[in-house]
Amino acid sequence: MKNVFSIAAAASLFTMTISGCTDETVSSQSIDQNVNQWTIDGQRDLANALNQQPINKRAKNVIFFIGDGMGITTQTAARILEGQLNGQDGEENLLSFETLPYTALVKTYTTNHQVSDSAGTATAFHTGVKTKSGVIGLSEFADYGVCEGQAEHEVTSLLKMAEDRGMATGLVSTARITHASPAAAYAHAASRGWETDTDMQPADIEMGCVDIARQLIEFSHGDGVDVILGGGRRGFLPNTVTDPEYPDQKGRREDGRDLVAQWQAAGGQFVWNEQQLRNAPKDQPLLGLFEPSHMQFEVDRQLDNGGEPSLTEMTATAISRLEGSEEGYYLFIEAGRIDHAHHYNNAFRALHDAVEMSRAVAQAMAMTSEEDTLIVVSADHSHSFALAGYPAKGNGVFDWVRGTDEHGHPNDEVTLAEDGQPYTMLGYTTGVIVDRDEIFGEQDPADPNFRQGARIPSRGEHHGGEDVVVMARGPMAHAFHGFVEQTFLHHAMAHALGIQQ
């Protein structure tokens, strides 16, 4: 490809004169631009973009990643953090999924809220149908929290469609596997809170509504889900059974059902720690539940007594167990705890979990071919999270804002706000109010437990309503472009697999 900033073109600028500049100055500036690294990089990226060719054929496999709560600000801050962890300034870094060639912006509202929750958004991307916030696997015509009549409004997920076609399937999450995002792949519930029978009213149970954990174990499509890895052990054990990892805890089920035993009786295997996962034979369906509730945040994982696998290890395990399917596979993977850390106003844990998701996507990319596997990466919603304050390039992500001197060069001086107090480059609109004057010099913003301040006090930080990004590579990935409804993700993935609605 011919470089538009050729030496010949640059040389011709010797004859030009700009007010206040000599011919020689103009020429020097032009040559400087031609050899400038930004020009070189821009020309390289342009060539790559122009050479990108769509893979216009059916996908054998689909791997669908969701970063729960991973809005654009989270993605940007995680990108910088990952770069800084690798010894760079961070801004030029790209997360693994940011190298995927096709992107679109996704609208995340539900049918009754401008700012959504994870149940309504998950139903949208799993089934292609928008619904109310708080509702799992039902259309918008279902009433939230009302069991009566919910069966009339059930909608079918891509995971169920894949199982009905004989494909292998998998579910992975660092949250409870009965939590909203994974639950919408297999369950129908008028309330996302119906994770176990304990969470339901007796009248709803008598009416025939079934809790989410039980729906997973009794999943009737195809031969059942082949790989299930995540948290939420307590929802599968009766309240008379002691948790295998924590002797002081028991299950939560009041109906006496031991769903783990039921899974094993049907021919499946169960694991609850990292070592068991690594040793598990591959000839049986696998249920791995690594915590009674949500799994550990990535920065806390090494402190877990039982030993928990990382999201990357669970991703590799799932792919290795599914890739032998002649009919292909559909795998849903969620970095579920990005969202939870944001709700605590704790950017440290949120961003480290986002960086771990980047590793997991890189693992999936390394284990698959773009010729037959469509990889889609997105988020369900954003958060009231901001990166602001004019920090200098290379400012530590978890640091006070430090600006530039009078010549525009970064310095080490802490920038003060109009009230004379320092502030961090990361912050939240809602959540915990922090007295910045009190914590400056007393707390290190790089401490894992540091909580960035909020402007509006609330019990927990809130979701954000702006669009999120979807990124893709592989067969039919070129369908992901422009501005799309969240339901589009389902329809594009189903089309790639050749599944008709």
Can you tell me the mean pLDDT for 483-490? 98
User: What pLDDT is stored for residue 261 in this prediction?
Assistant: 98
Backbone angles phi, psi at 125, to 5 degrees: -80, -20
Backbone angles phi, psi at 142, to 5 degrees: -80, 145
pLDDT (tens digit per residue) in 410-420: 998 999 989 88
Task: Provide the mean pLDDT of the chain.
Answer: 93
Which top CATH class is 61-384+462-497?
alpha beta
| Of 210, 499, 172, 468, residue with least CA distance to 310 | 172
Q: Are 305 and 273 in contact (CB under 8 A)?
A: no
Sheet harboring 426-431: ordered strands across? 385-387, 426-431, 454-457
Percent of the chain with pLDDT over 70: 93
Q: From the candidates 30, 96, 116, 118, give the one annotated as an active-site residue.
A: 118
Distance between CA atoms of residues 353 and 80, nearest Å = 14
Distances (CA, A) of 405 to 89, 387, 392, 395: 18, 21, 10, 14
Q: Report the predicted TM-score, pTM, of the whole model to 2 decimal places.
A: 0.93
Tokens representing 231 are 């948290």
Q: Is the pLDDT of residue 228 over 90?
A: yes
Q: Is the pLDDT of residue 40 over 60?
A: yes
Please confirm, yes or no, whether 382 is among the known catalytic residues.
no
User: What pLDDT is stored for residue 20 in this prediction?
Assistant: 47
**Of the ranges 9-13, 28-32, 33-37, 390-394, which one carries the lowest mean pLDDT score?**
9-13
Q: Is the pLDDT of residue 5 over 70?
A: no
Q: Which residue has the higher pLDDT, 115 or 15?
A: 115
Residues 6+ apart with CB under 8 A from 45: none
Q: Is the pLDDT of residue 187 over 70?
A: yes
pLDDT (tens digit per residue) in 288-346: 999 999 999 999 999 998 999 999 999 999 999 999 999 999 999 999 999 999 999 99
* Strand (E) or helix (H) holding 277: helix 274-279
Percent of the chain with pLDDT over 90: 88
CA dihedral angle for residue 81, residue 87, residue 93, residue 94, rounded to 10 degrees? -70
Domain with CATH 3.40.720.10 in the chain: 61-384+462-497
Q: Is the pLDDT of residue 439 over 80?
A: no
What is the residue whose two structure tokens read 């800084």? 84
Long-range CB pairs of 31-37 (<8 Å, 24+ gap) are: 31/7, 33/5, 34/3, 34/5, 34/6, 34/7, 34/10
If you average pLDDT over each of 1-15, 29-43, 352-366, 437-451, which comes out highest? 352-366
pLDDT (tens digit per residue) in 342-376: 999 999 999 999 999 999 999 999 999 999 999 99
Q: Is the pLDDT of residue 424 over 60?
A: yes
pLDDT (tens digit per residue) in 138-176: 999 999 999 999 999 999 999 999 999 999 999 999 999
